[in-house]
Structure 1
């Protein structure tokens, strides 16, 4: 049925856990339950118990402290919270009458305040069926999920898709990359579902000549230097693209360019520009209406969906658009730079300018970075302020919120190793 680290749960044993969870938790089919548990097996047993009776479940990342989990549960309009226990903490006096069973998730908050997204179980089932029928390459591979199972990437595309295919998903704590590598080596034809940061770490750790058999990346476009390293160390590299409101939108079965998101799954209708010169917003139409993704992209003639930038991340310098990824790729191509993020800064003359945070294995003087940028970028793309920090703040799923970085920088929250202002 499934494996968690070194412990295997056959179907009979896991179904017993699901039944025991249902009995102990006292579930109501109309319930709207938030679950936060550091025990992966316990969390998944309760998830399937809630799913089986058609109730609603709101997964919360296991590292979330109780006070924060409670706030999230209240924001998602849950009437009960299970926090590392099968004893419910009541949040409201009544369960919603006649509620429809849904998977509840908070959006990542990369473009604004996080909001609760509700997707019905029939919609989730349709996504899984479309994914399995369309993305056929992994049929004989063993999925290894080294990302949060409380997120749709690990939960739906990792676990539910694996079970639909009749495969046994292997769930591994991604916090120990050496243990993750040992696990992958022990599995025949493993397919690793993880974040770009974890894939990059593994590509750097593996000895010369060793490759990952297969890997799936999602959540954010790989910086070009990371992509080149990961691609060289992976036999089969896949990529998927989606958003909280719609689930997985497209899958790329053979990634040769980090911006190539993939071919749209057949259960979606996606409108977008057909021109690389004039990209437009990617809009997904479905039974619940149109979802504007706030992503700029275009279709290639072969039907590949290509990502350009987040609309909210685009920096307008004197009427000229600057896409942060272009700046980040240039900076990260410097030999000692390990990570970078370009973000919007207000400017009295140009309206907006580019700010830059980067990390490196050694101290780099601002003029050196600026010179490198000047050799590889147009003048309007050049960073106005360059700050070297110990580490770039990334979210648990590997994404960067440029809006949050800009706000934190404006508030003086970064301890600068070095700073350069033009």
Structure 2
């Protein structure tokens, strides 16, 4: 049984829908095919997913807001044979067969490069769910509220499939309306909110003084320090998970006390490398002979906690000195009124690279005062040399920021200064 907003869909509903979809999509005749799926309604997409999983075929979930042209392009990139776009009549894409075994296909976020298709077998997904449930027991008596895309592995696997494995009824809240989310939190006994950093931050700011959310879970991107403090203070329990498209969930923190404490590595993985506090390295894990190089810089503390520092691709090298973007962003966001910020690299003929900054704020911010603020709290090589106030920091559907995309758009002159910016 699954609740979507205010409607409950029982097993009978999904059983009938699965049978109908399996017949219409002809899964029995297309066992080796790949199916790209984009439906506007969550219950329709989930019914297709359950049917594909039961039939052992491969499925590529696409976010409901994906335009047709983009959906077809992603289906082609993933070498899908069929595209089902808001109707149970598949459109042929290619006759090539990429794999004979059923897989969950995911397009990587593209935060550090061109998006690519990641394929994971249904057996690997089952192993992840089993490891997740057995290792992370804290939410077993809570009610999961999933306020993030269910076409992404975070909402789909760690939200819906884990809840069903625990025998719970997951509640999908597929609206970004904060008033609706707050109402659902108040109506739910021991709610466990699985969402993006941006939504959690918004709810934390809107909650009345003294109110708390029973439990929150964040993933996907590291919280800015000011956001973390607000969410932590408004959460009775706060959880964080860490992973990547190729491996799924790698680590879980059952009691988050600092934003960069991403968790303890799940027993299904062997942590091959992560460095130490004084000598951080790329986080590398292994499972069953498969080595996953995360491209994340971090280290493991003596107590086993995995600490994240930065994406290796996001590091900015200023005259041979490394700049971690989050360190700069955290300082910037302590300046009064600034609510969001992103730091990215700019090429420089003399220093090699330099630090650039976009930020949004409640009011006009004097850039000279902001530079002075940074100069008093950061090393010289960390201080942003280019600063622009914008109306909104661009985030993806999963809440992540692509620094690579921001840098490209900045260079192309796409960002206009906020109308409130001081001269």
Contact kept, 8 Å, 2:363 with 2:421, in 1: the verdict is no
Give, in whole Å, the separation in 2 of the partners of 1:335 and 1:107: 35
Report the Cα offset of residue 12 of structure 1. Answer: 2.1
1:46 to 27, 45, 48: 48
Report the Cα offset of residue 19 of structure 1. Answer: 1.4
Specify the alignment match of 1:13 in structure 2.
Answer: 13
Is 1:226 equivalent to 2:230 in the alignment?
Answer: no
- Structure 1, unmatched stretches of 5+, are none
Report the Cα offset of residue 272 of structure 1. Answer: 2.7
Contact kept, 8 Å, 1:146 with 1:193, in 2: the verdict is yes
Give, in whole Å, the separation in 2 of the partners of 1:116 and 1:248: 17
Count residues in correspondence.
420
Report the Cα offset of residue 206 of structure 1. Answer: 1.0
Specify the alignment match of 2:84 in structure 1.
Answer: 82
Specify the alignment match of 2:131 in structure 1.
Answer: 130
Contact kept, 8 Å, 2:275 with 2:282, in 1: the verdict is no
Give, in whole Å, the separation in 2 of the partners of 1:273 and 1:195: 26
Give, in whole Å, the separation in 2 of the partners of 1:402 and 1:385: 15
Q: Deviations over 1:327-383 (max 9, x none)?
A: 000001112001001110111221111001100000111101101101110111000
Is 1:383 equivalent to 2:384 in the alignment?
Answer: yes
Give, in whole Å, the separation in 2 of the partners of 1:248 and 1:167: 20
Specify the alignment match of 2:204 in structure 1.
Answer: 203
Report the Cα offset of residue 399 of structure 1. Answer: 0.7
Give, in whole Å, the separation in 1 of the partners of 2:270 and 2:421: 46
Is 1:112 equivalent to 2:113 in the alignment?
Answer: yes
Q: Deviations over 1:126-171 (max 9, x none)?
A: 0000000000000001111100000000000000000000000000
Give, in whole Å, the separation in 2 of the partners of 1:115 and 1:131: 25
1:73 to 61, 72, 75: 75
Contact kept, 8 Å, 2:364 with 2:421, in 1: the verdict is no
- Structure 2, unmatched stretches of 5+, are none
Specify the alignment match of 1:29 in structure 2.
Answer: 31
Report the Cα offset of residue 90 of structure 1. Answer: 1.0
Contact kept, 8 Å, 2:239 with 2:256, in 1: the verdict is yes
Contact kept, 8 Å, 1:174 with 1:198, in 2: the verdict is no
Give, in whole Å, the separation in 2 of the partners of 1:304 and 1:327: 24
> Under a length normalisation based on structure 1, what TM-score does the superposition of the two structures give?
0.97
Give, in whole Å, the separation in 2 of the partners of 1:157 and 1:74: 27
Runs of 4+ in 1 over 4 A off after TM superposition: 418-421
Contact kept, 8 Å, 1:249 with 1:268, in 2: the verdict is yes
CA RMSD of aligned residues (A): 1.5
Contact kept, 8 Å, 1:270 with 1:283, in 2: the verdict is yes
Q: Secondary structure at the match of 1:273?
A: strand
> Under a length normalisation based on structure 2, what TM-score does the superposition of the two structures give?
0.97
Report the Cα offset of residue 20 of structure 1. Answer: 1.7
Report the Cα offset of residue 114 of structure 1. Answer: 0.5
Specify the alignment match of 1:414 in structure 2.
Answer: 415
Give, in whole Å, the separation in 2 of the partners of 1:248 and 1:419: 41
Report the Cα offset of residue 97 of structure 1. Answer: 8.6
Report the Cα offset of residue 13 of structure 1. Answer: 2.3
Specify the alignment match of 1:257 in structure 2.
Answer: 258
1:20-419 aligned within 5 A: 20-27=20-27, 28-92=30-94, 94=95, 96=97, 99-287=100-288, 289-417=290-418
Contact kept, 8 Å, 2:355 with 2:386, in 1: the verdict is yes
